[in-house]
Structure 1
Amino acid sequence: MSGALPGEVRAALEAFAARGRVLVALDFDGVLAPIVDDPDAARPLPAASAALERLVAGTDVALVSGRDLADLRARAAVPPQVVLVGGHGTQSSRSAAGTTVLSAGEEELLARLGGALDEIAAGRAGVHVERKPMSAVLHTRRAARPDAEAATAAALAGPATWAGVHALRGKEVVELGAVPLGKGGGLLRLREELSAEGAPVRAVLFAGDDVTDEDAFAALSPADGDVTVKVGEGPTAAALRVADPPAVAELLTTLADLRA
């Protein structure tokens, strides 16, 4: 563990825990799991997993990730009560289909995006392309810096500008969607769904580390009791900050204690 939580974080958790029905939502990479060079090797910290096991006994919990839903399920290995929202809000484990259905035009656009990113990655060691049901993703984490920068610039200046493309730039990734992407929308939809099925969700806590988490921070309202937590350094719209995944595990353990 990283030591005592900042006083303002502890105070926010105490107020949040007392609000009745709440939703705890978390990004996966860089939040529950430390960032690693190989995305397939990412796993949640044991302390975070143990805290989630305790939290789900009386609290709604969700993971909201850019990962494909099946990939998120395999890597996170969370309790079955945890709702999984993948593909930057376009997929949900609560949906029978699991994912948004693409039109014929969107399918064609997605295929073109994948091909364009393949061309950008070709000949650049460590640059690779991931296909998701709604998007194509250029990964540059394992590339030499000149290759990573050139590939990123080519993607942003090229296919990211095409009509109908929804672009997200994260840490060492450029994700190009054939449908609108955004964790904020997925998080708000989940809140509405849960509230419609029982007692209303009185507040949401969301923790994320990447620039792709900023729209989720912006979608919530700390003034109304929501809690937004940036993990790590960098500018953010979040109201609070913790240092790293071990600090997130400490935050979740503290919240589990308070909710108990």
Structure 2
Amino acid sequence: MGDLTHSSPLPQPLTPAGRDGLAAILARPERAVIALDFDGTLAPIVPDPEQARAHPDAVPALAALAPKVRSVAVVTGRPAGVAVRYGGLAGVPGLERLVVLGHYGAERWDAVSGTVQAAEPHPGVAAVRAELPGFLDAIGAWRGTWIEEKGRAVAVHTRRARDPQAAFDALRGPLAELAARHGLIVEPGRLVLELRPPGVDKGVALVDYVREVGAESVLYAGDDLGDLPAFAAVDKLRSGGDVRGLLVCSGSAEVTELSDRADLVVPGPPGVVTLLSTLATQLP
């Protein structure tokens, strides 16, 4: 779809379930949760994850929308505090009730307290962290790869490799074996393989949060494979009949799995920001 402008009407979802979800948000916004991934959704993908920052219009859009809905939540694989910092989300008028669910829900930051609550880290992460540099060197995969320390997870990026996709494909099996030895799993993403604890994902985090706040509708926007559990969770909520949902894909040529399952596809973070801004203007 083409670029949206803030004065444009809301785009219409392509699916009946998506149109029903959007209608529910518009009808009773005080019962709606707006949940969003960070990287690739609120922030453009960049070669160095430490340089990622929210789209310049993202915070104003969220601040305009948040007071009109039950809650706005950022659901990310990053540490919660990092997402808050890179997003510029702390101390923003209008975002006094913002919640950030980091590490797939293992961490939680809320604007009310300004603090992060978290469970104890999985011991396998420390073991993998120590072993990973030598492991990559031993299999000849160190050149062009880059290790990202994520606190409760460790990620290996291949975006800087000579052939990023070939490096990604070659590493997927060996890293899965390394993760399994330490009780972890591998979560694939956009030219990144994340080694993290099992049993937590964006779907679990999203369902728990929707139930906690008593939402009747939810919009979830994401861009990567790690967002598939959240998409599945919204589908499950919708099938139960008590929660309506709208699935939004922040479009990318690198990942098609989400766009195939989305109710609505927008052109990357700029499209997400415009959707949020337009939605804010449509709500009382």
The reply to whether TM is greater than 0.5 is yes
Aligned to 1:197: none
| 8 Å CA contact 2:13, 2:263 repeated in 1 | no
Counterpart position of 2:212:
193
Q: Percent identity at matched positions? A: 32
Q: How far does residue 117 in structure 1 lie from its aligned partner after superposition?
A: 2.3
* RMSD (Å) for aligned C-alpha atoms: 2.5
Give the alignment partner of residue 248 of structure 2, picking from 229, 235, 253. Answer: 229
* C-alpha contact (below 8 Å) 2:25/2:31 kept by paired residues: no
Q: Work out which of the residue numbers 67, 72, 88 in structure 2 matches 1:61.
A: 72
Q: Shift in Å at residue 247 of structure 1? A: 1.0
Is 1:2 the counterpart of 2:12? The answer is: no
2:156 aligned counterpart, secondary structure? strand
Deviation at 1:204, TM superposition (A): 1.1
Q: Are 2:100 and 1:84 equivalent residues in the alignment?
A: yes
Does the 8 Å contact 1:120/1:151 carry over to 2?
no
Work out which of the residue numbers 28, 45, 48 in structure 2 matches 1:38.
48
Quote the Cα distance in structure 2 between the aligned partners of 1:17 and 1:228: 15
Q: Structure 1 counterpart of 2:175, which letter?
A: A
The alignment partner of 1:62 has SS state of strand
Structure 2 counterpart SS, 1:180 = coil
2:47 counterpart SS class: coil
Separation in 1 of the partners of 2:150 and 2:44?
A: 22
Tell me whether 1:74 sits opposite 2:85 in the alignment: yes
Task: Give the whole-Å Cα distance in 1 for the aligned partners of 2:196 and 2:228.
Answer: 17
Specify the code of the residue in structure 2 equivalent to 1:68: P
Q: Runs of 5+ in structure 1 lacking a partner? A: 195-199
Instruction: Please report how far the alpha carbon of residue 16 of structure 1 lies from its aligned counterpart in structure 2 after TM superposition.
Output: 1.7
Contact 1:222/1:239 (<8 A) preserved: no
Choose the corresponding residue for 1:114, options 124, 129, 134: 129
SS of the aligned residue for 1:25 comes to strand
CA drift of 1:163 comes to 6.0
Count of aligned pairs between the two proteins = 250
1:202 aligned residue (211, 216, 236): 216
CA distance in 2: counterparts of 1:21 and 1:125, whole angstroms: 50
Q: CA deviation at 1:14?
A: 4.3
Partner of 2:278: 254
Residue 211 (str. 1) matches residue 225 (str. 2): yes
Separation in 2, partners of 1:40, 1:182? 22
Unpaired runs of at least 5, structure 2: none
Deviations, residues 191-246 of structure 1 (Å, cap 9, x unaligned): 2222xxxxx21111100000100000100144541111122140233332222111
Asked if residue 133 in structure 1 is aligned to residue 151 in structure 2, the reply is yes
User: 2:120 is matched by which residue type in structure 1?
Assistant: V
Asked whether the 8 Å contact 1:69–1:91 carries over to 2, the reply is: yes
